[in-house]
Structure 1
Amino acid sequence: MVCGGLAQARVSEVEAAKLGKELTPVGAERAGNAEGTIPAWTGGLTEPPKGWQPGEREIDPFPGDRPLFTITKDNYEQYRDHLTDGHIAMMETYGDDYFLPVYQTRRTAAFPEHVYEKFKQNALTAELLDNGNGVRNTIMTSPFPIPQNGLEVMWNHTLRYRGEQLLFRAAHATPTVGGEFTPILKEYSYYFAYAEPGAELQDIDNKIFYLKTETISPPQLAGTLTLVHETLDQVRSPRLAWRYESGSRRLRRSPNLAYETDLPDSSSLRSVDQKDLYNGAPNQYDWELKGKREIYVPYNAYELHSDEHSAEDVIRAGHINQELTRYELHRVWVVEAKLRTGISHIYHRRVYYVDEDSWQILATEEYDEDGNLWRVSEAHNISYYSEPVFWTTLEMTYDLKARRYYVDGLDYDQAPYDFDPGFRSREFTASAARRAARR
């Protein structure tokens, strides 16, 4: 289904009534599959495991799980129906060194009850704006739990619930072909205006969230500060961004922090709109909903999240250490994006695999102008305990041509995520960022 130029209709009362019944509160199929390899959703992971205390890093709720089998370059043909083209390409590119350890499927995604209530309200009221560049009559979480087209699925990802605020430190790196790397550590401060309790769409000034990042190390980059105001309708009101660098000692507007622009400090291995696997205005592509598939995807990545590891344990030449990964069979929405005529972008076709239980994009494929698969991205996720959200712990983009990759979320020697840092919106103004710049 391709989205046309008109606003899309909200679903009927009859359709919305399925939420919380045959559909989960977020719109996934509650039942498992016929083969029993995908279980029914029974509420997700709503209680932390024994042994975890507030203020600690999340521990593995399934410590006894072991791989059911491993998919390799030698046996992937028998699993092809459940594999993405990107994962097949990775196995063909890296041979025995790249494999998918497949575990029991556990549908852990869960959210607070007040978020579930908003899903049903949004289903009855939310609409796409003309041409799909924004939404209206929605708040807090994904607007379209019963999506009718590819754009609605993508907006579900963009506006999914990720808590109200968040503070953490994590590093990203771009390993060389040989696997050497220098991590760039940043502090991230999020204020999700769209999810603020009691907020209405007309109250948040077209903002989804505010984000402030400060580079901590290495020393030559320390003090660099970026401020982003992420807008809902980015065609009418583009994303606002400012950047402060210690060398210039000035906070400057960053007008091009969007679309195909190189993501800062990514060694040109990732575009800005690949952060979070996809972000920003959808107006450069035509979006087609291809339907649902049962796919082996990264899920419940508690081993990758564990503070028993270091960045050196995770990073390898060509790709991360697959021994630490976990893949499960899940139902995903498949959305294909094709570049519109007359538009310039380094990616001419893109494919997204979106988790039905959380609206998180789990994997993507990016193709060049000749139709060749160029880059493959993944998001390895967990269910967090201090705030019931399902979100990434590590994400990466693999460049099949360069045989290098970008990896983000390396936080093994850092404090756990803080979902209640007590921010105020006034801390995210340009003047506040200017005052906060210390170099």
Structure 2
Amino acid sequence: MMKKIATLAGVLALSLVAQQAGAKVAADEAAKLGKDLTPVGAEKAANKEGTIPAWTPLGQQGALKGDWPKNAEFDAEKPLYTITKANMAQYASKLSDGHRKLLSTFPSYKMNVYPSHRPVTFPEPILKATAENAVNAVLNGTDDPVGAKLGFPFPIPKNGAEPIWNHKLKWRGEVGTRYNNQMIVQPDGSFQPTKIIEDVQFDYASIKNPQVLDAGHKQFLRYLSRTVAPPRLAGTFILVIEKASTGNEGRAAWLYSPGLKRIRRAPSVCCDNPYEGTDGNQFYDQVDMFNGALDRYNWKLVGKKEMIIPYNSNKIAGNTVKYKDLARPKHLNQDLPRYELHRVWTVEATLKAGTSHTFKKRVLQLDEDSWNIVMADNYDNRDQLFQFQEGHLIYARGLQATSTVPEIIYHFNSGRYFVTAAFNEDAPIDSTVKYSDDHFTAAAVQKMTTK
């Protein structure tokens, strides 16, 4: 009898967990969106000290192609202060573990902190859909969002996985072609660039063709990359169809290698497998700060706090900076990045028992205004800080969207760091492209390789 009672209690407990995982936001709480909260869930007001301003959105201005990141007012400003090893204790509570380690390890490392600005907003259909998602969308487990349409699915998050889905499903335009230039910077500052061109079709956050995520429609993104330099890597293609699920149901991927001269299914385009051509300096799930299935980790919503993060990083992403200007021994040229004080959501991911990953724990910081992941502290199986990811946030007013350009991965065990998502010496993202119906197919990729 006692065994039956215990079993019943376990079933009820699991049922309660499932209900909590799939709980919707109450109507009175969702009503805060657009009032006390911004339409996507950030706090509208300034902080008590006035060091973080009230939300002051900048509406659409500029083109969808050819516009470099810029804001004349922000870009003319001088730093309020500079953080170094000598004064880092004064700011320690607002710094990530990664930034504290960089400051304490390298005497040449510094952080120039500028006035904070909160210009980020999104097209009106995204804002409206986000309000509807607040009361309609649920997340079953970690990888099955249901009932979300077009906007951010979880503007008022209740668990750690929901902010990550906001990041994964954020508005980035209907389509995009971008240059993704990468550099493995050696401890002496030397590097060789790798040039990749990426095509993306955003199936979920599509104003032209919005579709509800449900059992019949889970696809949210299609991606195709082709490496064009250096010669030893040129001609490599990666094709990914991304769905809201796990395993083969969540991601279908193909790889074309010039050596094999054929395209093949590639289940290894996942998790902590090294991204092609990065010599192990970037895992597949570190692209866009984090991507892919969440099921290997337990996700905890730690809460919101004030942190100094890369923000309004127009200079470092712009066409006046060359790649040789970025690279310095041990760390980035810290005269270039812009840091600001902002509120962030902190999410902690801990590896589940019975699963594997190089990172035992990840601590991710998401900007409250954009839901972009801007920093990630990654710990190894000894609970030591192993890597630090830093994404330099820009706001593209023409598109009314944000991205992190460039992204940096610091490897504390080797002294190297990896720069990715840079387009300084090529062109900004083109959001006007049109792809054929069969562009994101294995057959199309095979044809491209024979031209």
* Shorter-normalised TM range: over 0.9
Give the corresponding residue for 1:148.
Answer: 158
Partner deviation per Cα, 1:154-180 (whole Å, 9 max, x = no partner): 111111111110012231111111111
Alpha-carbon distance between aligned partners in 1 of 2:40 and 2:185, rounded to the nearest angstrom: 37
Q: Which runs of 5 or more residues in structure 1 are unaligned?
A: none
Q: 2:47 aligns with which of 26, 33, 37?
A: 33
8 Å CA contact 1:30–1:40 kept in 2: the answer is: yes
Matched, 1:100 2:111: yes
Give the corresponding residue for 1:179.
Answer: 189
Q: CA deviation at 1:237?
A: 0.6
Give the corresponding residue for 1:337.
Answer: 349
Q: What SS is found at the alignment partner of 1:194?
A: coil
Matched, 1:8 2:22: yes
What letter corresponds to residue 100 of structure 1 in structure 2?
M
Q: CA deviation at 1:54?
A: 6.0
Q: What SS is found at the alignment partner of 1:153?
A: helix
Give the corresponding residue for 1:244.
Answer: 256
Give the corresponding residue for 1:434.
Answer: 446
Alpha-carbon distance between aligned partners in 1 of 2:282 and 2:209, rounded to the nearest angstrom: 36
8 Å CA contact 2:306–2:341 kept in 1: the answer is: yes
For residues 282-431 of structure 1, the aligned pairs below 5 Å read 282-431=294-443
Matched, 1:120 2:131: yes
Give the corresponding residue for 1:111.
Answer: 122
Give the corresponding residue for 1:192.
Answer: 202
Q: 2:59 aligns with which of 46, 53, 67?
A: 46
Give the corresponding residue for 1:212.
Answer: 224
Partner deviation per Cα, 1:43-99 (whole Å, 9 max, x = no partner): x222548xx99633233332321100001111010111111111101111212x111
Q: What SS is found at the alignment partner of 2:186?
A: coil
Give the corresponding residue for 1:82.
Answer: 94
Partner deviation per Cα, 1:107-133 (whole Å, 9 max, x = no partner): 12111111101100111100012x222
8 Å CA contact 1:173–1:181 kept in 2: the answer is: yes
Alpha-carbon distance between aligned partners in 2 of 1:438 and 1:414, rounded to the nearest angstrom: 25
Residues 286, 9 of structure 1: CA spacing in aligned structure 2 closer, same or farther, 3 A cutoff?
Answer: same
Q: 1:164 aligns with which of 174, 185, 192?
A: 174
Report the TM-score when normalising by structure 2.
0.92
Q: CA deviation at 1:205?
A: 4.1
Q: 1:221 aligns with which of 226, 233, 238?
A: 233
Q: Which runs of 4+ in 1 moved over 3 A?
A: 3-7, 202-205
8 Å CA contact 2:374–2:404 kept in 1: the answer is: no
8 Å CA contact 2:64–2:398 kept in 1: the answer is: no
Partner deviation per Cα, 1:177-218 (whole Å, 9 max, x = no partner): 111111110111000011222332359842121011111111
Alpha-carbon distance between aligned partners in 1 of 2:342 and 2:83, rounded to the nearest angstrom: 16
RMSD (Å) for aligned C-alpha atoms: 1.8
Q: Which runs of 5 or more residues in structure 2 are unaligned?
A: 1-15
Q: CA deviation at 1:351?
A: 0.2
Q: CA deviation at 1:413?
A: 2.0
8 Å CA contact 1:133–1:235 kept in 2: the answer is: no
Give the corresponding residue for 1:20.
Answer: 34
Q: What SS is found at the alignment partner of 2:185?
A: coil
Alpha-carbon distance between aligned partners in 2 of 1:348 and 1:188, rounded to the nearest angstrom: 30
Give the corresponding residue for 2:6.
Answer: none
Alpha-carbon distance between aligned partners in 1 of 2:46 and 2:280, rounded to the nearest angstrom: 41
Q: What SS is found at the alignment partner of 1:74?
A: coil
Alpha-carbon distance between aligned partners in 2 of 1:198 and 1:314, rounded to the nearest angstrom: 39
Alpha-carbon distance between aligned partners in 1 of 2:46 and 2:216, rounded to the nearest angstrom: 38
Give the corresponding residue for 1:60.
Answer: 71
Alpha-carbon distance between aligned partners in 2 of 1:206 and 1:432, rounded to the nearest angstrom: 23
Alpha-carbon distance between aligned partners in 1 of 2:193 and 2:257, rounded to the nearest angstrom: 18
8 Å CA contact 1:167–1:418 kept in 2: the answer is: yes
Residues 371, 168 of structure 1: CA spacing in aligned structure 2 closer, same or farther, 3 A cutoff?
Answer: same
What letter corresponds to residue 114 of structure 2 in structure 1?
Y
Alpha-carbon distance between aligned partners in 1 of 2:450 and 2:403, rounded to the nearest angstrom: 31
What letter corresponds to residue 337 of structure 1 in structure 2?
A
Length, aligned pairs only = 432
Q: CA deviation at 1:5?
A: 4.4
8 Å CA contact 2:146–2:214 kept in 1: the answer is: no
Alpha-carbon distance between aligned partners in 2 of 1:320 and 1:176, rounded to the nearest angstrom: 11
Alpha-carbon distance between aligned partners in 2 of 1:199 and 1:329, rounded to the nearest angstrom: 35
Alpha-carbon distance between aligned partners in 1 of 2:418 and 2:438, rounded to the nearest angstrom: 33
Q: What SS is found at the alignment partner of 1:323?
A: coil
8 Å CA contact 1:170–1:414 kept in 2: the answer is: no
Q: What SS is found at the alignment partner of 1:392?
A: strand
Q: What SS is found at the alignment partner of 1:25?
A: coil
Alpha-carbon distance between aligned partners in 1 of 2:288 and 2:331, rounded to the nearest angstrom: 18
Alpha-carbon distance between aligned partners in 1 of 2:247 and 2:90, rounded to the nearest angstrom: 45
Q: What SS is found at the alignment partner of 1:427?
A: coil
Alpha-carbon distance between aligned partners in 1 of 2:22 and 2:242, rounded to the nearest angstrom: 23
Q: CA deviation at 1:287?
A: 1.0
